[in-house]
Amino acid sequence: MSLIASGLLLIAIFVYVFYPERNVEAQRGKTRLEYLFERRDVLYDNLRDLNFEHSAGKYPEEDFVAQRAALENETAEVLAEIDLLESRWTGTTNSQAVRPSR
């Protein structure tokens, strides 16, 4: 009984492991554009958070203005690079870009 169960287990697992599907997931590194989208999302969240905390009365006006300016500068740099890369990319290929959703 144990022998049969062991044999069946071995065969089932062997088949599962060594006969994978033809189309395996591609292994690829993260692109610069993907990284920038992630950065943009984080910075947007930070800005929303800043706005919300300001509305909740946690930041005095002068602190808020300074913090917002710093974050906006950083975000603007990221957005500018995204726009640049996207325009280059769409210029070189007609296929649709995989643009991560927010």
In the complex, the residues that contact other proteins under the rule CB under 8 A are: 1-3, 5-6, 9-10, 13, 16-18, 20-21, 24-30, 35, 38-39, 42, 44-53, 55-60, 63, 66-67, 69-70, 72-73, 75-76, 79-80
Indicate the residue among 28 and 96 with the shorter CB distance to other proteins. Answer: 28
Query: In this complex, which beta carbon is closest to other proteins, that of residue 30 or of residue 93?
Result: 30
Determine the length of the chain: 102
CA distance 59 to 67: 10
Q: Which is nearer to other proteins, 89 or 100 (CB)?
A: 100
**Shortest Å distance, C-beta 71 to other proteins:** 9
Instruction: Work out how close the CB of 77 gets to other proteins at its nearest, in angstroms, rounded to a whole number.
Output: 9
